[in-house]
Amino acid sequence: MATIKITKDNFDSEVLNSKEPVLLDFWASWCGPCRMVAPTLEQISEEMEGSAKVGKINVDEETELASQFRVMSIPTLMVVKDGKVSATAVGVRPKHDIVRMLEV
């Protein structure tokens, strides 16, 4: 499964009501570090299909969601489980650190 584009319109159905944990990537097209972590997130979305989802939130297009989660720097990665944020990381992280966030 590829990453999912998350908007305020599909946030509840894709994130809050998800049966599996959702890794959210708050990013922007002009952000170099965001482009660096994107291939890793694609790999994770394929490898963890069925046990986790990866959603991308463009902070320039979804300012309400970025504000709601108090995103100050990008990339910001958050894991949402059962409707609550269970882990957060700011900046580029190695793949094993990101996977560990989903497993906590």
Catalytic center residues: 31, 34
Nearest CA among 93, 96, 81 for reference residue 33? 93
Residue 75, classed as helix, strand or coil, is: coil
Rounded CA-CA distance 17/54 in Å is 14
